[in-house]
């Protein structure tokens, strides 16, 4: 009977080993800052050129109307949809392979490639945090207290999970904490599917 127990598969969370996330970790703040700038540029392009071209009458009515909240919500819905759909397409495979498959953070993203699953998940986490920072900064007077608390919680938890990798010898559960963030992060897919 004990032999059968030894060979039964265990959930991945029981077999996780603490490993560094990525050699890009020291550049996390630079990745976050560049992501915020990129999202601001995307929002600017959408508001100035793309949305007025696609939604001529609707956007014109929103621009000349007095309801700034509706115009911003319309624009930021498109920014959010673009960012979240892009993240979903770029992280679905590596995240699920890390959560339920054989991948560890140092596994190559593609066979023979130099980019690792950890690299992809680190950059994706920073982009996701940048999007939430962008939302907090630009939806100031229109945001609810619950929305603000949710954004703050996500930012603190995600950045704390990443910061634990700075000293993996001291923080023996860095990979486990990040794994748990990724489990909760899978709910982004439900959010994106609701947008579509």
Q: Integer distance in angstroms from the first to the last C-alpha of the chain?
A: 50
* pLDDT-derived band at 2, boundaries 50, 70, 90: very low
pLDDT score recorded for residue 159 = 97
**3 state DSSP class of 108:** strand
Q: Are 136 and 52 in contact (CB under 8 A)?
A: no
For the chain, give the mean pLDDT: 89
Specify the pLDDT at position 6.
56
Q: Taking a C-beta distance cutoff of 8 angstroms, is the pair 158, 129 a contact?
A: yes
User: What pLDDT is recorded for position 191?
Assistant: 66
Output phi, psi for 80, to 5 deg.
-60, -45
- The residue extents of the domains of the chain are 26-195
pLDDT for position 154: 93
Q: In the prediction, which pLDDT does 10 show?
A: 74
How high is the pLDDT of residue 192? 65
- Give the separation between CA 162 and CA 126, rounded to whole angstroms: 9
Would you say 166 and 28 are in contact if contact means Cβ atoms under 8 Å apart? no
| Position 7 confidence tier, pLDDT thresholds 50, 70, 90 | low
- pLDDT at res. 165: 96
**d(Cα 19, Cα 21) in Å, to the nearest integer?**
6
Query: In this predicted model, what pLDDT tens digit does every residue of 12-62 receive, in sequence order?
Result: 888 888 999 999 999 999 999 999 999 999 999 999 999 999 999 988 888
Q: Check residues 91 and 189 and name the one with the higher pLDDT.
A: 91
Q: Could you tell me the pTM of the whole model?
A: 0.88
Judged against a pLDDT cut of 60, whether residue 1 lies above it is answered with no
Render pLDDT for 68-126 as a digit per residue (tens, 0 to 9): 788 888 999 999 999 999 999 999 999 999 999 999 999 999 999 999 999 999 999 99
> What per-residue confidence (pLDDT) applies to 70?
86
Q: How far is CA 12 from CA 74, 81, 83, 98, 183, in A?
A: 41, 31, 29, 9, 12
């Amino acid at each position: 009977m004990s032999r059968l127990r030894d060979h039964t598969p265990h959930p991945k969370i029981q077999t996780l080993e603490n490993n560094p996330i990525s050699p890009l970790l020291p550049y996390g703040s630079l990745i976050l800052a560049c992501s915020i700038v990129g999202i601001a540029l995307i929002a600017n392009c959408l508001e100035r050129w793309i949305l007025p071209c696609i939604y001529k009458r609707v956007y014109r009515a929103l621009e000349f109307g007095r309801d700034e909240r509706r115009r911003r919500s319309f624009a930021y819905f498109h920014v959010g949809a673009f960012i979240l759909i892009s993240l979903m397409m770029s992280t679905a495979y590596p995240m699920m392979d890390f959560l339920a498959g054989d991948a560890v953070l140092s596994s190559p993203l593609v066979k023979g490639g130099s980019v690792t699953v950890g690299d992809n998940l680190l950059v994706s986490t920073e982009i996701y945090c940048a999007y939430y920072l962008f939302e907090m900064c630009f939806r100031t007077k229109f945001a609810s207290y619950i929305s603000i608390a949710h954004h703050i919680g996500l930012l603190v938890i995600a950045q704390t999970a990443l910061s634990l990798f700075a000293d993996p010898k001291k923080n023996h559960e860095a990979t486990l904490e990040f794994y748990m963030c990724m489990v909760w992060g899978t709910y982004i897919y439900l959010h994106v599917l609701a947008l579509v």
